[in-house]
Amino acid sequence: MTILWLAAGIGVLLLLYWMWRQFIRFSNDLSVWANELLEGDFSSRMPLRTERCPSKGIRLHINKIAADYEALSQLQERRLSRQEAHIKQKKHYLSVLYDVASCINKSHNLEDLLQRFLHTLTSVVNAQAATVRLLDKDDNMRLVASIGLSQEVIRQEETLPAHDCLCGRALTDSTVMINSNSKRCGLISEGKFFKDDDDIELLAIPLQYRGKTLGVYNLFVPRKQHEFLEGEHELLESIGQHLGMAIEKAGVEEDARTLSIIEERTRMAHELHDSLAQTLASLRFKVRLFDDSLHQGNEEVIWSELEGLENTIDDAYAELRSLITHFRAPYDGKGVVRSVERVVERFRQETKLDVFFYHNWDLEDLSRDSEIEVVRIVQEALANVKKHADAENVRILMMSTEEGHCSVLVEDDGKGLIDRSRPNRETGEHIGLSVMQERAERINGEILFESDDGEGTLVQLSFDVEINTNT
């Protein structure tokens, strides 16, 4: 009996020892696995010592949890990598677009704009050459700017039909087109772009603005470099839209400058017609009379005609000097009242008339262009007084209100306007009136002419100015 109890006790001790060893082994394996997991080794697993391992079930469950955690970690890493790549790509996009926008904003005209753009773009994408082609009225693509091409190639590529090549397809489809061998494009223009055309790929990117395709820009890139541009088509199209907007804006500004020049020429023509042209016509007539007098041999008449010629030449010279002064708008940046005061003072000195000038003008929001138009209208009104009115007194009033309503009045006590129904080619008077009306319309104003025979003339300009309420 004692032996049985002893054997049972030894068995219990052995069982406890075995259980203790299994627990220690499991604890050690669990600790090692946890440490490896903390160190970032998500592939670490709990080892299976034997097939009959008593902790096999829990080890398998732990390994399944570890595998799921590893898969989740890999998924998160892939998502993070994609996000980082996306952010890096957007940062690259913004950097390139900033460089492009910066070079565009620094440009002074369309030619300078395109050259700056090409220099910036070729350095950013490491292109060997680049061109810009714009669509003209004849549906041809005209080469307007290039970099990296020889003069011979530029001459051959100067004008191409819009639908005969890769660039034409880019225009039609409004998307990036790729020619893996630029040699094919060279065949169209019967030339060769580079010594090794086989290694150069051509990209054609449309230039667009508000859905309108203006042309294309081309990039000539080495084949290896194009691999880096495969995912950049969105960026290239965005650059094309930015450049298209800049080209359209430059065109609008150029049209505005041209229109401004035409308008200024028209104004000069009006001024010349009103003054110097009439004096020169009179001079030509007097020269003919003088020629007739010379043939008649009447010395008294000859001297009289000669004196008349001298007076007319003096008048022409005075008119020319007056026009030079008139074309120089007396704008000095110190306000419209100061400019009108200078005009009035000059008029007072030239005519010796009694001029009354009064102003109640506190407006500071008048633009430079509006100030010049106001001064020109006052000049024209005073010029008409000087040439046609036979006045003794002139009154000039300038008023402005806090709401931005402005009024400028020029009034004389002369003989008034005669027959204003149509322009008078002898005096050019009513052409001057139409010029004043045009000037008033440019500042969204109205001009009123009131006159009666022998009762003088009143010219009143009225316009409104938008008041800036920001403080």
Helices marked H in 230-335 — which ranges? 233-274, 276-296, 299-327
Mean pLDDT (the chain, rounded): 79
Q: What pLDDT sits at residue 198?
A: 67
Q: What pLDDT sits at residue 177?
A: 77
pLDDT confidence of 187, banded at 50, 70, 90?
Answer: very low
Tens digit of each residue's pLDDT (9 = 90 or more) over 230-265: 667 777 888 888 888 888 888 777 788 888 788 778
Tens digit of each residue's pLDDT (9 = 90 or more) over 21-80: 777 777 888 788 888 888 878 788 878 766 677 777 787 888 888 888 888 888 888 888
Helix, strand counts (H, E) of the chain: 13, 11
- The larger pLDDT score, comparing residue 324 to residue 209, is at 209
Tens digit of each residue's pLDDT (9 = 90 or more) over 154-174: 888 788 776 667 777 777 777
Adjacent-strand bridge partners of 208? 213
User: Is the pTM above the cut of 0.85?
Assistant: no
Task: Annotate 151-192 with DSSP letters as a single string.
Answer: HHHHHHTSEEETTSSHHHHHHHHTS-EEES-THHHHHHTTS-
Q: Burial code of 297-314, b = ≥16 C-beta within 10 A, e = fewer? A: eeeeeeeebeeeeeebee
Residue 282 pLDDT > 80: no
pLDDT confidence of 192, banded at 50, 70, 90?
Answer: low
Residue 182 pLDDT > 50: yes
28 by Cβ neighbours in 10 Å (0-12 / 13-18 / 19+) ranks as: exposed
User: For the chain, how big is the Rg over CA atoms in Å?
Assistant: 44
Q: What pLDDT sits at residue 399?
A: 93
